[in-house]
Structure 1
């Protein structure tokens, strides 16, 4: 059934405020919850954090007191939504277990978006990035086995394979080579705008998470690995945010943010396996419909256009968390040896890439390589979770 969020009625804003008891939701059970329920929670936390940060930036650049008041009211509700969503994560899980779930999100959400993206250039950006997140999952899984003596299949539940992608040390590129060409806001498909905003928000939240939790570990190798991958997540945020047309007005960006929240809450309401969590997605969708209505009115008043000129007339097919094993193996077999130069992709290591690699390594082996050797020495072998037959052999350029 088609669903046009611009024509649906949501909960009036003055009825959306929740008290402490209502905000204090019980977390999901880490031992029995569907891993993809946790993935949906992590995704929506990133989406809500982006909504809040964007609204703050808009507030700092907006001279209109009436608009600032509307932004502040909606932003506080978004902050309540973020607390509910993020507090669904179980306190029983260690930081490293949550990290592995973050990387499962990065792998299966980005792979799904890459499969669904109609624009070849944007699709290539997602294919490039997912091979790096895939390798991060492998590095963190080995750290998990080494310092917590547990295996990542407990977290990913065989839905996502754990094995090498593009080696993490090859992700350190010159900053200008992380910039991409933006889509054309006047020509690109509405779904492409939603894809870009979704993956940018998810990667931004991963970057924020690693920046804050990395130094909480005592083990030197853990601190070093979070620092290394945290820097790469900054590269990924640059990579994905560059895809968004910088010519979008503040009103257009606000409209896209609110529409995307409706899209994702509706998607997850449609696909959620946990009835209690599904009810939260439904409640938040009904809140976001009102946020979208407010954004649409601001867009019409200040941008002078009809929102239907910018967003899809009905919600696209739901975003779906599902295994992407075959798709990822195909990418590993065909695209593992790519790096970037300017806004494009090349298979040869160019001079600027080599110089930056040498500078950032400082003559030392990176933590992402050391953690595999250390776990192999401690556990007898490195950790992998392969469920689909032999792992495709990467290019020789991926060996170190």
Structure 2
């Protein structure tokens, strides 16, 4: 029988508070854990962080004190969940190693979403974005080799290929061209709305991570690369958040957020290989089922609609972290030279794009190019991890 979060019974809110011993969890072992376990951790950290931020925004617009108190109670639990999830990351990993894991998570999650997305316009948005993360992974991998004298397969294993995507320096666009047309909430499938929420949350988490991690590094080359990619991540958040229909009420948004958390924890509980981490996914799912029930009551009260009118009747197939090598190679061969113009896409270097490039670059070589140049000079070649044959740029593919 399909899993329907609205019909499942969760952990009562009064029973959800945990003490320090339960919160300060043992981190995973980076040398033995599946890289996709780390990807799930990074993803759920982004989902939980987004839920907390959204709840704060809702509270600031809510005049009802009792509802603000309920939001605060749920938000406190969300904050505990976020700490547990984020504390699973190993402290022995360097900032650069964690960065490689962030990019692997973004590549594989966005590729999976693009493959599953039925709406052509939304799918194109994910296809466009994932090629930029492919290139970020490649740039950080080259920095990792020169800065720490290690190779990225230590982190990503051979699950994700490391190769150029859309060149990072070409990802700097006029901010107006990062804004997409929103989906129509009355006609867009519930799964499509969930896809947008999860990808936006992960991008926002990456943006926040690079903004805070960049100044922690000492070498100018590393600081420059983090600064450059942090600016691109800001554009990515704009790119994805603009896909959401702004006509949704606060209560519909809250309902979608809570359902999305249930869906993600359910998905990861189904696919997680690490027993201890899977137990955390299962526990948090039980908590989120109660959060969803409370959000559904608010939605019915203030929007005067049944949640079934908005949500999927049952959880879709689980979100899966899996290799997307062939799919990504096809995208690189077909779309690596795309940029955006208005809400659409083009291969033309139009006037706004050229002006944005000139204003930012000022004739200088971008940090993302310099790190690869330096690795060629130090190591004798750039770092690549290709497991499926030649890079797509070398293939004769008709576009």
Give TM-score scaled by structure 1 length.
0.98
| Residue matched to 1:398 | none
| Residue matched to 1:183 | 183
| Residue matched to 2:243 | 243
Determine helix, strand or coil for the equivalent of 1:345. strand
> What does the per-residue CA deviation read over 1:214-249, in whole Å, with 9 as the maximum and x for residues that have no partner?
011110000000000000000000000000000010
> What does the per-residue CA deviation read over 1:156-181, in whole Å, with 9 as the maximum and x for residues that have no partner?
11000000000000000000000001
| Residue matched to 1:57 | 57
| Residue matched to 2:363 | 363
Determine helix, strand or coil for the equivalent of 2:393. coil
| Residue matched to 2:383 | 383
| Residue matched to 1:123 | 123
> What does the per-residue CA deviation read over 1:305-359, in whole Å, with 9 as the maximum and x for residues that have no partner?
0000000000000000000000000000101111000000001111110111011
Kept in 2: contact 1:173–1:353 (CA 8 A): yes
| Residue matched to 1:347 | 347
Determine helix, strand or coil for the equivalent of 2:345. strand
Kept in 2: contact 1:181–1:343 (CA 8 A): yes
In 2, distance between residues paired with 1:186 and 1:208? 32
Please give the residue correspondences for 1:231-310 in structure 2 after superposition, counting only pairs within 5 Å. 231-310=231-310
> What does the per-residue CA deviation read over 1:10-64, in whole Å, with 9 as the maximum and x for residues that have no partner?
0000000000001011000000000000000000000000000000000111101
Please give the residue correspondences for 1:128-207 in structure 2 after superposition, counting only pairs within 5 Å. 128-207=128-207
Determine helix, strand or coil for the equivalent of 2:162. coil
Structure 2 residues without counterparts, runs of 5 or longer: none
| Residue matched to 1:312 | 312
In 1, distance between residues paired with 2:355 and 2:3? 51
| Residue matched to 1:39 | 39
Kept in 2: contact 1:5–1:289 (CA 8 A): yes
In 2, distance between residues paired with 1:231 and 1:63? 35
In 2, distance between residues paired with 1:77 and 1:115? 33
| Residue matched to 1:336 | 336
- Tell me which moved more, 119-128 or 353-362: 353-362
| Residue matched to 2:4 | 4
In 1, distance between residues paired with 2:361 and 2:394? 22
In 1, distance between residues paired with 2:74 and 2:379? 51
What is the deviation of 1:394?
6.8
Kept in 2: contact 1:332–1:394 (CA 8 A): no
Kept in 2: contact 1:336–1:394 (CA 8 A): no
In 2, distance between residues paired with 1:360 and 1:24? 43
In 1, distance between residues paired with 2:105 and 2:232? 16
Determine helix, strand or coil for the equivalent of 1:340. strand
Alpha carbons of structure 1 residues 327 and 346: separation in structure 2 relative to 1, 3 Å:
same
| Residue matched to 1:113 | 113
Kept in 2: contact 1:141–1:383 (CA 8 A): yes
Determine helix, strand or coil for the equivalent of 1:393. helix
| Residue matched to 2:102 | 102
What is the deviation of 1:266?
0.1
Kept in 2: contact 1:340–1:346 (CA 8 A): yes
| Residue matched to 1:226 | 226
Q: Which runs of 4+ in 1 moved over 3 A?
A: none
Kept in 2: contact 1:214–1:226 (CA 8 A): yes
In 2, distance between residues paired with 1:140 and 1:390? 21
In 1, distance between residues paired with 2:165 and 2:24? 39
Kept in 2: contact 1:196–1:244 (CA 8 A): yes
In 1, distance between residues paired with 2:352 and 2:394? 23
Give RMSD over aligned pairs. Answer: 1.0
In 2, distance between residues paired with 1:390 and 1:135? 16
> What does the per-residue CA deviation read over 1:69-125, in whole Å, with 9 as the maximum and x for residues that have no partner?
110000000000000000000000001000000000110000000000000000000
In 2, distance between residues paired with 1:104 and 1:291? 30
What is the deviation of 1:379?
1.1
